[in-house]
């Protein structure tokens, strides 16, 4: 048994003993203390073994994943300890009002961190499958915390219990960015009571305002509707990347290889500048339609028709949380921009005819069956179909959104690669160039991308690590 596992057993033992206020659980301390001493020694060993000398890409990838797994197990141990403090009421003896207060105090945690631990602890008491996987390091802390955010919605808790297997599947197989969107869409779809009426009320009460504080600076306040927010986000981030590229070119011209240290603006500064450009453009030409931006909303046919039906008063279809989770994992249910930003399907249906939204209804992720009013632009276009297969650059770990990518031939054109949906994928400028340095990229039947290095070895990805059998 490893040290972390031993700590688990000991913490679990403490959990079952009920300790009244005022009574010390003196025997628990030293046993857990021994395990912690052992752990401290092991961590010294790990610390001593990390060095940049001779570190290869493969070695680094394995070390990152391996260390992450152990850190997750320790974080799961913290949650288990929290539960033990709560169940044993050990916090009462020193006058703490709750386990959260005691853990916050002795762990020197921030308030939000202590609350987070409490939320995760409450969820793991019910979702036992997630709890044991977390204890084994098989699911990440970020994913567990994301699930706990869904858990904080009491209307969907029961559904989470029902769909635990699907939630685990999504949490372990997807990149975090995709899992985050999965959670968002699943919660929206199964929370029938929370989803519908408030959206309409929010629309009636829509408001954005700027208010000045005593320093003279201004704060912006307001919440954008789902579609408007997606449009705003797309326009702003597009402008940010244009500005950043211009900065980059200027820095390269002046400083050569050292350009990274001489980027004149940070990302927040770029966002601010981009925002002000948008505001000033509005002042110059308030009714100009020349620079109109169209947001492509990609939605599956079933969801779109169901939402349209509900708009005209049809009986809402029954919500089956497990089927929704399965469809989200399989990629057959979606309502998003091309970059993957979730948009509320009820809003898409209600505003399907407005001129600033182009809906793209698709039967499966690559078959376009209806592109709203601008059909001729897209019909038969391998480009759009290729873009819609992925929401971002295909390279492992890259998060550059699809609209800032070019469609790349996976098998290069000069090597006989076809200009077809099957051979096209979105790639950012940088990775298009990287691939030219002897990398080979191929796509499996399930859509997974394999990248071969110039030396013939496969570039590892997170799935290659996490699918390996658990080490003892």
Contacts with Zn ion by CB under 5 A lie at: 393, 395, 398, 400, 428, 431
Question: How far apart are CB 394 and Zn ion at their closest, in Å?
Answer: 8
Q: Could you tell me the maximum CA-CA distance found in the chain, to the nearest angstrom?
A: 79
CA dihedral 102, 103, 108, 112 (to 10 degrees): -110
Question: Shortest distance, CB of residue 393 to Zn ion, whole angstroms?
Answer: 3
Query: How many residues are there in the chain?
Result: 472
Rounded to a whole number of angstroms, the minimum distance from the CB of residue 430 to Zn ion is 6
Nearer to Zn ion, 101 or 398 (CB): 398
Give the shortest CB-401-to-Zn ion separation in angstroms.
Answer: 10
- The encoded tokens of residue 76 equal 């799961």
How far apart are CB 432 and Zn ion at their closest, in Å?
8
**Residue whose CB is less far from Zn ion, 129 or 238:** 238
CA-to-CA distance for 459 and 44, rounded, in angstroms? 30
Q: Give 284: exposed, middle or buried? Use CB within 10 Å, 0-12, 13-18, 19+.
A: exposed
> Closer CB to Zn ion, residue 80 or residue 400?
400
Q: How far is the CB of 155 from Zn ion (least distance, A)?
A: 38
State the minimum distance, in angstroms, from the CB of residue 425 to Zn ion.
Answer: 11
Q: Which is nearer to Zn ion, 169 or 452 (CB)?
A: 452
With b for 16 or more beta-carbon neighbours within 10 A and e for fewer, the 73-98 pattern comes to bebbbbbbbbbbbbbbbbbbeeebee
Instruction: Give ∠ CA 320-321-326 in degrees, rounded to 5.
Output: 100
Structure tokens at 257: 């290889």
DSSP 469: P
Q: What letter would DSSP give residue 314? A: P
> Which C-beta is closer to Zn ion: that of 153 or that of 432?
432
Closer of 96 and 435 to Zn ion (Cβ)? 435
Q: Rounded to an integer, what distance in angstroms lies between the CA atom of residue 287 and that of residue 277?
A: 16
User: Is the Cβ of residue 264 or residue 430 nearer to Zn ion in the bound state?
Assistant: 430
CA distance 176 to 170: 9
């Amino acid at each position: 048994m490893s040290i972390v596992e031993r700590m688990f057993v000991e913490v679990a033992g403490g959990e079952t003993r009920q300790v009244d206020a005022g009574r010390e659980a003196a025997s628990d301390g030293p046993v857990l203390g021994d395990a912690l001493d052992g752990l401290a020694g092991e961590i010294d060993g790990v610390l001593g073994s990390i060095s940049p000398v001779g570190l290869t890409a493969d070695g680094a990838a394995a070390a990152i994943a391996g260390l992450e797994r152990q850190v997750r197990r320790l974080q799961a141990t913290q949650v288990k300890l929290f539960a033990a403090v709560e169940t044993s009421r050990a916090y009462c003896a020193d006058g703490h009002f709750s386990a959260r207060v005691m853990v916050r105090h002795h762990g020197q945690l921030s308030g939000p961190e202590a609350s987070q631990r409490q939320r995760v602890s409450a969820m793991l008491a019910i979702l036992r499958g997630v709890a044991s996987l977390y204890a084994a390091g098989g699911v990440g802390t970020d994913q567990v915390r994301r699930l706990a955010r869904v858990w904080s919605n009491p209307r969907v808790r029961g559904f989470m219990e029902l769909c635990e297997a699907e939630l685990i599947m999504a949490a372990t197989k997807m990149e975090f960015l995709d899992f985050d969107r999965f959670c968002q869409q699943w919660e929206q779809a199964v929370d029938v009571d929370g989803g519908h009426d408030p959206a309409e009320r929010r629309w009636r009460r829509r408001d954005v305002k700027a208010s000045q504080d005593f320093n003279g600076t201004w704060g912006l306040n307001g919440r954008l509707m789902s579609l408007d927010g997606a449009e705003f986000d797309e326009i702003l981030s597009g402008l940010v990347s244009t500005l950043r590229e211009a900065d980059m070119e200027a820095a390269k011209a002046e400083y050569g290889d050292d350009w990274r240290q001489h980027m004149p603006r940070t990302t927040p500064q770029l966002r601010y500048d981009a925002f002000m450009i948008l505001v000033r453009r509005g002042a110059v030409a308030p009714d100009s339609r020349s620079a109109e931006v169209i947001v492509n909303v990609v939605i599956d046919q079933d969801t779109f028709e169901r939402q349209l039906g509900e708009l005209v008063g049809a009986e809402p279809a029954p919500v089956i949380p497990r089927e929704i989770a399965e469809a989200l994992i399989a990629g057959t249910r979606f309502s998003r921009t091309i970059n993957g930003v979730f948009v509320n399907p009820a809003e898409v249906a209600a505003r399907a005819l407005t001129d600033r939204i182009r809906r793209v209804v698709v039967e499966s992720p690559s078959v376009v069956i209806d592109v709203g009013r601008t059909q001729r632009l897209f019909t038969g276009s391998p480009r759009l179909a290729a873009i819609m297969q992925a929401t971002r650059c295909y390279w492992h770990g890259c998060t550059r959104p699809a609209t800032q990518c070019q469609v790349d031939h996976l098998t290069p054109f000069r090597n006989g690669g076809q200009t077809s949906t099957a051979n096209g994928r979105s790639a950012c400028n940088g990775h298009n160039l990287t691939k030219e340095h002897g990398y080979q990229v191929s796509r499996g039947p399930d859509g997974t991308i394999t990248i071969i290095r110039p030396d013939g070895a496969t570039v590892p990805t997170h799935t290659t690590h996490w699918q390996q059998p658990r080490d003892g």
